Amino acid sequence: MRRVAVVLAVCLAAATAASRAGATNECRGLQVCVPVAGPWVVAGAGEVRYELACPKRFVVAGLDAELSSKRMDVAFRGALGSPVNPGITTSTSAVFLGRLLAHAGLAAFRPHIGCIPASGGGQRFPTAHRPFAPGHPLAPVAVQLVVRPGVHRFVERCAAGKQLIGASHAVGLYTDGAPSAAQMRGVAVVQSIRGGRVLLTVRAGALPDVPAIVQVDLDCAAAA
């Protein structure tokens, strides 16, 4: 029940954010497009990743981002295949990679995707002769946790038959504009991996009128 509530809360917040976004270009040049905006994702000098998903039966066809600092570097993870196209390079979600090009401090970016109806995509072909064609050895899993004031602990793991290879987390803040430094410092997360499980301790101060989430990204692979 906890995860169902999390999904509903996050979807409502994302829909609200999308309705406020009007200056981004994720739908430019697309005749049919559903814009989806994520929260403001807090980033420091280390890389942080955030997965943003389209509605059911849609694929990502456009991407954009808002930045709270000109020193933010934001890219996205694409898949191998030809031609570079929605449904081939992208799928039903996009993973944004962000980092602050500074030795200290925090900044934030808000990811945006433009979604079009899925049409089956194209067939993937290897770009050169290899023993194995490019595939998907990792099965990333994104889990979103609603942040509440206080100290809360969470345990996440891969599904049965999958092996945990690595994990990361990102803090998202659903603010109208770029979050303040105090708001970005308002949520602290300590992560560790033990025995194939990801352990998180989330500490949050009072966040009045600022819905916040922690997205945990698990890298899961088929067990050897």
- Per-residue confidence in pLDDT tens, the chain, 224 aa: 344 344 334 444 444 444 444 589 999 999 999 999 999 999 988 899 999 999 999 999 999 999 999 999 999 988 777 777 787 778 889 999 999 988 778 999 999 999 999 874 433 333 343 444 444 555 678 999 999 999 999 999 998 888 898 999 999 999 999 999 999 999 999 999 999 999 999 999 877 778 999 999 998 887 66
| Whole-prediction pTM | 0.76
Q: Per the structure block, which two tokens stand in for 170?
A: 């990102």
Those residues with Cβ within 8 angstroms of residue 110's Cβ, 6 or more apart along the chain or in another chain: 17, 21, 37, 38, 39, 40, 41, 65, 66, 178
Contact 223, 184 (CB under 8 A): no
Q: Per the structure block, which two tokens stand in for 198?
A: 């990801």
Q: Per the structure block, which two tokens stand in for 26?
A: 């994720």
Separation between Cα atoms, residue 17 and residue 106, nearest integer Å: 21
**Distance (Å) of CA 20 to CA 15, 16, 36, 115, 213:** 9, 7, 10, 17, 19
- Containing 215, the helix (H) or strand (E) segment is strand 212-222
Q: Which amino acid, one-letter code, is at 215?
A: Q
Could you give the angle at the alpha carbon of 78 between the alpha carbons of 76 and 83, nearest 5°?
135
3-state secondary structure of 122: coil
Contact 219, 138 (CB under 8 A): yes
Contact 166, 159 (CB under 8 A): no
